[in-house]
């Protein structure tokens, strides 16, 4: 039994753009062969690269202030909520750190989107220099959106982030770094240190996360972020089905393994045989990580997943997480050196490797409930803490940095409980209501453990890339562009995504992604009609003037706070690769799911009724991040920015800020506070 073209037809489903969808770019089994070959070459060349590194190593350019710098990234930690919980006495370690050292808001990027912000953190540069403007970019020939951070094709795997991250500069000066799960590090950098990749690492199917649901008497369906497979049980409670894996290649079908399920409805349990593995399940409890292999001839693709028996009555529903790359047998490069992921798996056990591992799509689709999502997210968090503290003990000098995703994922999915009087279930579950505050408390406990591990020779920075707010109303920018005559749809438009319905011969502006508007510029887009120069500038000013006054008829509220021109916001060689205009929404608003995927739609404003109910893709001034440090900082009356972190870390080791960096080193005292 095969799934044919159905799985491959969703090769442009989106990850963060939609509520947890996938973005398939693993074109065929050939890519796994190529990655394996590259890993083998990397391993056998290790001794030669080590000798070469000894000869090319340079010395530090000046006296250093610290022996070690520790950076703890907490994605999405919001300064307003931090202050509120600190005032209530619920964050004692953050309060102590603020009193002894420094606490400040941290200016984020434009737009305040995770891959953009963390790329600026790594490089100390604005998006015009590192080239990451959104989760997506577009192919100028076809107008088809593509992942902005990396490209996988028959030529290999390429990281599309430009500029040089601070850890490579440190390595060039002989300073070792351990960099764990910083976004936009897939494939991993080659430098003097260790790295585990994060955001944009695909699953084994080549998407950014596609779950599988086996549903008794269900309907076969593949959609953004998930695949539903109907099953039928015999009188003994048995059924045989299949698990789709990576695309097989030129035939268009996916590789698959056999799945056999035997359910005991009275005991609310099941036994699942997944390939060669036998798994016993109790309703409501996750399995451990289960290895699953997909063969083509003599080659095998290695994955791991977890299973959850969601229900047995009235119907059986069995959920499988996205098939993560197996860290013990990584078929794509997810760490540097290549064996580092294997070492971590041997030390701590199998772990999630997917860039967006918390399955927001499954919760959004009602496949799992709040409690199941939280268990999954916290399990991932605890494993990453184990990895981090091991790295902290082993990185006695240099830099140890990690980014924890938990605050971001839980705030995205549980902000609906923050809205007064709103509950998605109609029954206020205390764990769901407190889910966000519990995460902040968990981050405080984590911080307390970190502080105990540090001595006076270590500088600590705790930071977030942006804050968070409510996402109640969605705006379809493409609908507005069509209403104003800037975008024209084809006569036979069928409601397709990815800009497929646009008549490019008549369209002057279009939108996709989380914040951008693009002009259909002649000489840049393949079918551009807007003349560069005065016509282009006049069109931008016209759109800004009209869109800036857009109001939501529900409550007569302003939906847009500010619109930025990229030519005035960005500088650098890649400035023209991003959107021409960046929309900064008011709090409570965000681009709609349809518009983000390049669908035209019909409604300009719609209620956002998804579980994905919190967001940060609005005006950057409304969602600053946070910065804590155990060192007093001389901020000279200014708010530090995320682009300042890289030059600050370099300065701690006596390295001058490179000319290409836009950030400025923050004045940091030599002595650590509170030690």
309 neighbors 270 (Cβ within 8 angstroms): yes
> Residues of the chain whose pLDDT is less than 70?
1-63, 249-252, 420-428, 671-675
- At residue 192's C-alpha, the angle toward residues 45 and 173, to 5°, is 130
Q: Which residues pair with 519 in a beta bridge?
A: 509
Rounded Cα distance between 441 and 464, Å, is: 15
| Per-residue pLDDT at 55 | 47
Cis-peptide, bond into residue 293, ω within 30° of zero: no
> pTM of the full predicted structure?
0.91
156 neighbors 147 (Cβ within 8 angstroms): no
| Per-residue pLDDT at 40 | 52
Beta-strand relationship, 625-629 and 102-106:
antiparallel
| Per-residue pLDDT at 17 | 53
| Per-residue pLDDT at 152 | 78
Beta strands in 192-339 (DSSP E): 193-196, 211-216, 221-223, 226-231, 238-247, 254-264, 269-274, 277-282, 290-296, 299-305, 307-311, 317-320, 324-325, 335-336
| Per-residue pLDDT at 2 | 31
What is the longest distance spanned by two Cα atoms in the chain? 77
Cis-peptide, bond into residue 111, ω within 30° of zero: yes
| Per-residue pLDDT at 10 | 35
CA distance readout (Å), 559 to 384, 414, 450, 539, 587: 38, 22, 41, 21, 8
| Per-residue pLDDT at 44 | 54
Rounded Cα distance between 189 and 126, Å, is: 20
- Helices and strands, counts by H and E, the chain: 19, 36
Query: How many Cα atoms within 13 Å fall on the side-chain side of residue 571?
Result: 7
């Amino acid at each position: 039994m095969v799934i044919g073209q159905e799985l491959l037809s969703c090769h442009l489903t989106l990850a963060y753009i939609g509520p947890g969808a996938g973005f398939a770019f693993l074109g065929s089994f050939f890519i796994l062969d190529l990655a394996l070959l590259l890993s083998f070459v990397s391993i056998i060349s290790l001794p030669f690269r080590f000798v070469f590194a000894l000869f090319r190593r340079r010395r530090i350019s000046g006296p250093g202030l610290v022996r070690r710098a520790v950076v703890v990234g907490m994605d999405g930690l919001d300064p307003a909520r931090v202050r509120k919980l600190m005032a209530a006495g619920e964050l004692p370690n953050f309060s102590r750190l603020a009193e002894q050292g420094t606490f400040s808001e941290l200016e984020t990027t434009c737009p305040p989107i995770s891959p953009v912000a963390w790329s600026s953190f790594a490089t100390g540069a604005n998006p015009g220099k590192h080239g990451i403007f959104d989760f997506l970019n577009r192919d100028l020939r076809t107008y088809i959106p593509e992942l902005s951070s990396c490209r996988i094709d028959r030529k290999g795997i390429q990281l599309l982030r430009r500029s040089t991250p601070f850890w490579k500069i440190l390595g060039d000066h002989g300073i070792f770094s351990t960099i764990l799960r910083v976004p936009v590090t897939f494939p991993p950098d080659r430098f003097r240190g260790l790295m585990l990749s994060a955001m944009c690492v695909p699953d084994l199917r080549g998407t950014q996360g596609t779950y599988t649901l086996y549903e008794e008497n269900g309907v076969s369906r593949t959609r953004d972020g998930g695949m539903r497979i109907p099953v039928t049980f015999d009188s003994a409670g048995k059924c045989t089905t299949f698990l789709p894996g990576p695309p097989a290649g030129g035939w268009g079908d996916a590789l698959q393994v056999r799945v056999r399920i035997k359910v005991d409805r009275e005991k609310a349990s099941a036994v699942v045989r997944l390939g060669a593995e036998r798994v016993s399940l109790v309703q409501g409890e996750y399995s451990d990580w289960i290895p699953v292999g997909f063969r083509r001839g003599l080659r095998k693709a290695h994955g791991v997943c977890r299973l959850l028996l969601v229900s047995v009555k009235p119907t059986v529903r069995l959920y499988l997480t996205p098939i993560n790359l197996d860290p013990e047998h990584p078929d794509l490069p997810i760490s540097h050196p290549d064996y580092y992921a294997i070492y971590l798996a041997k030390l701590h056990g199998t772990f999630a490797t997917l860039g967006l591992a918390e399955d927001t799509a499954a919760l959004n689709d009602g496949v799992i409930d709040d409690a199941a999502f939280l268990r999954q997210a916290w399990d991932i968090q605890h494993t990453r803490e184990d990895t981090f503290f091991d790295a902290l003990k082993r990185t006695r000098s240099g830099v140890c940095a990690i980014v924890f995703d938990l605050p971001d994922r839980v705030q995205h999915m549980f902000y609906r409980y923050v809205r007064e009087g709103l509950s998605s279930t109609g029954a206020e579950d205390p764990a769901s209501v407190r889910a966000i505050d519990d995460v902040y408390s968990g981050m405080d406990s984590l911080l307390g453990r970190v502080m105990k591990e540090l001595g006076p020779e270590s500088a600590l920075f705790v930071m977030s890339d942006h804050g968070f707010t409510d996402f109640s109303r969605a705006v379809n920018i493409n609908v507005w562009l069509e209403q104003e005559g800037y975008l024209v749809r084809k006569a036979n438009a069928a409601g397709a995504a990815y800009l497929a319905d646009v008549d490019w011969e008549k369209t002057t502006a279009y939108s996709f992604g989380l914040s951008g508007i693009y002009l259909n510029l002649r000489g840049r887009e393949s079918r551009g009609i807007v003349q560069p120069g005065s016509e282009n500038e006049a069109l931008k000013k016209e759109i800004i003037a009209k869109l800036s006054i857009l109001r939501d008829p529900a409550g007569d509220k302003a939906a847009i706070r500010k619109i930025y021109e990229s030519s005035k916001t960005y500088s650098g060689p890649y400035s023209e690769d991003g959107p021409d205009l960046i929309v900064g929404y008011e709090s409570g608003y965000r681009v709609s799911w349809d518009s983000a995927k390049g669908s035209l739609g019909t409604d300009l404003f719609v209620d956002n009724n998804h579980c994905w109910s919190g967001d940060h893709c609005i005006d950057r001034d409304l969602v600053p991040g946070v910065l804590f440090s155990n060192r007093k900082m001389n901020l000279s009356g200014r708010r530090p920015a995320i682009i300042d972190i890289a030059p600050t870390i370099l300065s701690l080791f006596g390295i001058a800020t490179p000319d290409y960096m836009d950030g400025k080193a923050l004045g940091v005292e030599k002595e650590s506070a509170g030690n």
